[in-house]
Amino acid sequence: MDTPITTMPVIDFWFEFGSNYSYLSVMRIEQDAARAGVRVRWQPFLLGPIFQALGWNTSPFVLQRAKGDYVWLDMERQCRKYGLPWKKPGNFPRSAILPLRVAVLAAEQSWMAEYCRRIMQMNFAHDRDIDNREVVTAVLNDMGLPAAEIIAQALSDENKLKLRKQTELAMHKGIFGAPTFFVGEQMFWGNDRLDDALRFCNDLLIHPDA
């Protein structure tokens, strides 16, 4: 018997389309969470303002050459591990403001997960500029969605403010990178902590007062 969605444990998934490790999590979280009986709450946000608050003008993978060299080798290994296509972006980190505005608008829609996977693949499998109306339109059209209407809503002042507030909330919660997962007030950082976060969800369901 399926667990009613209102009683399923919840994982908040904070991610950014320019984040390479978010790519790994976006591509697997829905399937892994379903297998664990956990509901995903999608939380798109902008990493740039968080990096700026930390005194960085770009990703630490760019600022620290040795770390960056390691990360690209690690991404090749991780994508082989998960069976994911991979192409190192020619421009990193890529701006993702438009696709994130669409994601904020769509966070509770049934097509959110598929949209996120497609945008991530544009960046990390096809090396495309994703902060681009043509690319976002093509993704939405290919999904059979009214692209022009969705993009117009995403570009409204109200929705732009919503993304800013999401980013401010991420900073308030102490998020310093992506992907980050929250189970209640417990934070888990990094793609390699997704499995731990999902297990913690089920531990809370079994031992709610723990």
Active-site positions read 19
| Helix-helix angle 20-36:194-206, to 10 degrees | 30
Q: What is the rounded CA–CA span in Å between residue 120 and residue 159? A: 21
Read out DSSP for 19-37? -HHHHHHHHHHHHHHHHHT
Q: What is the rounded CA–CA span in Å between residue 96 and residue 15? A: 11
What six digits make up the tokens of 68? Answer: 């960056």
Q: What is the rounded CA–CA span in Å between residue 203 and residue 59? A: 34
Q: What is the rounded CA–CA span in Å between residue 78 and residue 57? A: 27
- For residue 83, the tally of other CB atoms under 10 A from its CB is 8
Q: What is the rounded CA–CA span in Å between residue 72 and residue 70? A: 6
Quick check: 44 and 103 in contact, CB under 8 A? yes
Sign for the CA dihedral angle at 125, 131, 135, 140 comes to positive
